[in-house]
Amino acid sequence: MIQNEKVEEIFLVLEDKLDKTVSVLRENFAAIRAGRANPHILDKLQVEAYGMMSPLQQLGNVAVSDARCLVISPWDKSLVKAIEKAILASNIGITPTNDGSVIRLVFPELTEERRKELVKQVKKMGEESKVAARNIRREAMEGLKKLKTGKEISEDEAKNAELDVEEQIGKCIEEIEKTVSAKEKELLTV
């Protein structure tokens, strides 16, 4: 790694964006259910409460009661209907049951066909993350090229920096592939 503030800045931005790419992929995978009760599918759920939109986690407790059932216990029982409405509108594919004080989400067993659809979705998300990583590489390479044409770094320094960028991208894509294959394995395990 060469000692140049602008090159270091390019690498800091590169690493930050690559880390975000992988973490966003993992967050998205957490929301894909594999037939088991997973409270993370509700992470992005917003509920209209007290005249504004609030995350579900701020309005009640979400607990896994058994392998295929989530129980949502709102702190204010008057929000049960609003939470139920938000779940129905969220399109997570599960119909909530409401007993007046808690809401239950029962996850049905996934059919083999549904598992294969989810695997396709996971692979597509993985490909999108790889494309994002390649776009990040392009940005870093353009930044290095500008430094080289502006005579701020030498040809050799630029070549070494480009190799370092390629190495970082390779590691990121490898991490994406590991994440995709782990989620595939989880989805296909009955």
What are the tokens at 74? 């709102």
Q: What global pTM score does this model have? A: 0.71
Rounded alpha-carbon distances, angstroms, from residue 65 to 42, 60, 69, 146: 15, 15, 6, 57
Listed in sequence order, the residues at least 6 apart from 137 whose beta carbon sits closer than 8 Å to its beta carbon are: 14, 165, 166, 169
Hey, which of 3-12, 56-65, 113-122, 176-185 has the most confident mean pLDDT?
A: 176-185
Strands 103-106 and 97-98 come out as antiparallel
pLDDT of residue 137: 95
| pLDDT classification of 28: cutoffs 50, 70, 90 | confident
Domains of the chain: 5-31+111-188 (1.10.132.20), 39-106 (3.30.1360.40)
Listed in sequence order, the residues at least 6 apart from 54 whose beta carbon sits closer than 8 Å to its beta carbon are: 46, 47, 48
Ramachandran area for residue 82 (φ above 0: left; ψ -120 to 50: alpha; else beta): alpha
pLDDT tens-digit series, residues 123-150 = 999 999 999 999 999 999 999 999 889 8
| pLDDT classification of 3: cutoffs 50, 70, 90 | low
Q: Which residues pair with 104 in a beta bridge?
A: 71, 97
pLDDT of residue 2: 54
- How many angstroms separate the CA atoms of 49 and 65, rounded? 25
| pLDDT classification of 190: cutoffs 50, 70, 90 | low
